[in-house]
């Protein structure tokens, strides 16, 4: 594995591969890599010849007062983890490389409000502007043929797919399934903000999603009632619920009768961490 710390370094590292006609996959991350991230790298290697993993804690996707300053930065451990993965290039740029005009002068990509201003976008205004802005740059710098994103950040994934399609960025987006701890808790760098007891409690998120999925599969169609039950189940365990919604999987809007693919999405507040999770429900 080689390392690149600037745009120029990355482009130089990738040029011979591109000339040789090798396909390049990008796995964008903010580092602090866990098994979930490594599964994205494994998947990327199945779709391309050369895998680039970026590690960049992107300041533009954090609102003032969010966890940008305390977000875990563990580049040395990340390097070790990637060494025993199929990653070929670790790209770890600095802020000035990603935002050469300075953050206040940067060109921002604005996602469509219909998809971006609900769910996570409702409580994190501007968050997805920052995500799309950095992902577009990473794709343009790497000229990746494929990019892999986890379904855990489901709204982010849909917005990135929408952007790539709309702007013709050229990368095919591959969706990677959520990786869970044995308790069912979706893997996330933010899980480490939790004390052990809260970590155990947080597994209730997945249990709640599974119980709602089972009820829909059994034929229940009062989605508002199901959402209210799900919220109650979590609040009864002292888990704060920012949202719990059952939506049409590809539009994130309230489902209509013809929608066959639904998604149950939740954002929960525990002491020290805000966690998100989601689960697909395909109606037959």
Active site residues: 37
Contact 38, 85 (CB under 8 A): yes
Examine residue 276 and tell whether it contacts ligand PAF (CB under 6 A).
no
| Rounded Cα distance, 64 and 66, in Å | 6
Q: 63 or 214, CB closer to ligand PAF?
A: 63
β-pair type (240-248, 261-270): antiparallel
Which residues, 61 to 80, sit near ligand PAF by CB under 6 A? Answer: 61
Contact 159, 111 (CB under 8 A): yes
* Token digits of residue 266: 């939740």
Indicate which single residue of 32, 39, 53, 58 sits in contact with ligand PAF (rule: CB under 6 A).
58
Rounded least distance, CB 171 to ligand PAF, Å: 13
- Of residues 124, 62, 64, 120, the one with CA closest to residue 95: 62
Q: 189 or 208, CB closer to ligand PAF?
A: 189
Q: What is the CA radius of gyration of the chain?
A: 19
In whole angstroms, what separates CA 234 from the centre of its chain? 23
Q: 135 or 204, CB closer to ligand PAF?
A: 135
Which residues, 14 to 43, sit near ligand PAF by CB under 6 A? Answer: 28-30
β-pair type (24-29, 50-55): parallel
Which residues, 144 to 203, sit near ligand PAF by CB under 6 A? Answer: 153, 156
Eight-class DSSP state of 257: T
Q: 151 or 153, CB closer to ligand PAF?
A: 153
Rounded least distance, CB 43 to ligand PAF, Å: 15
Rounded least distance, CB 201 to ligand PAF, Å: 24
| Rounded Cα distance, 272 and 190, in Å | 9
Q: 34 or 237, CB closer to ligand PAF?
A: 34
Residue with tokens 């805000």: 274
Q: Return left, alpha or beta for 87; rule: phi > 0 is left, psi -120 to 50 is alpha, else beta.
A: beta
Contact 61, 127 (CB under 8 A): yes
Contact 94, 73 (CB under 8 A): no
Rounded least distance, CB 28 to ligand PAF, Å: 4
Q: 38 or 226, CB closer to ligand PAF?
A: 38
Which residues, 77 to 136, sit near ligand PAF by CB under 6 A? Answer: 131, 134-135
Give the count of residues interacting with ligand PAF (CB under 6 A). 10
Measured over the CA atoms of residue 259, residue 117, residue 242 and residue 59, the dihedral's sign is positive
Rounded least distance, CB 179 to ligand PAF, Å: 13
Rounded least distance, CB 30 to ligand PAF, Å: 4
Binding site for ligand PAF (CB under 6 A): 28-30, 58, 61, 131, 134-135, 153, 156
């Amino acid at each position: 594995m080689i390392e690149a710390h600037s745009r120029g370094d990355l482009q130089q590292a990738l040029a011979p591969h591109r000339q040789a006609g090798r396909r390049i996959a990008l796995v964008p991350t903010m580092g602090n890599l866990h098994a979930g991230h490594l599964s994205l790298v494994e998947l990327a290697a199945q779709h391309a010849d050369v895998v680039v993993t970026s590690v960049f804690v992107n300041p533009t996707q954090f609102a003032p007062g969010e966890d940008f300053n305390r977000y875990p930065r563990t580049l040395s451990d990340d390097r070790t983890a990637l060494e025993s993965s199929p990653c070929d290039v670790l790209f770890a740029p600095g802020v000035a490389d990603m935002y050469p005009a300075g953050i206040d002068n940067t060109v921002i990509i604005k996602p469509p409000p219909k998809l971006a201003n609900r769910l996570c976008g409702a409580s994190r205004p501007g968050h997805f502007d920052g995500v799309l802005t950095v992902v577009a740059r990473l794709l343009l710098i790497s000229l990746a043929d494929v990019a892999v994103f986890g379904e855990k950040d489901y709204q982010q994934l849909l917005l990135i797919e929408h952007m790539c399609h709309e702007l013709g960025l050229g990368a095919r987006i591959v969706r990677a399934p959520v990786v869970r701890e044995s308790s069912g808790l979706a893997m996330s760098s933010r899980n480490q903000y939790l004390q052990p007891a809260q970590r155990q409690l947080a597994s209730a998120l997945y249990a709640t999603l599974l119980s709602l999925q089972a009820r829909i599969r059994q034929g229940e169609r009062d989605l508002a009632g199901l959402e209210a039950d799900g919220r109650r189940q979590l609040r009864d365990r002292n888990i704060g619920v920012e949202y719990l919604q059952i939506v049409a999987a590809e539009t994130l809007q309230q489902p209509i009768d013809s929608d066959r693919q639904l998604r149950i999405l939740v954002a929960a507040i525990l002491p020290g961490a805000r966690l998100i999770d989601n689960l697909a429900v395909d109606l037959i």
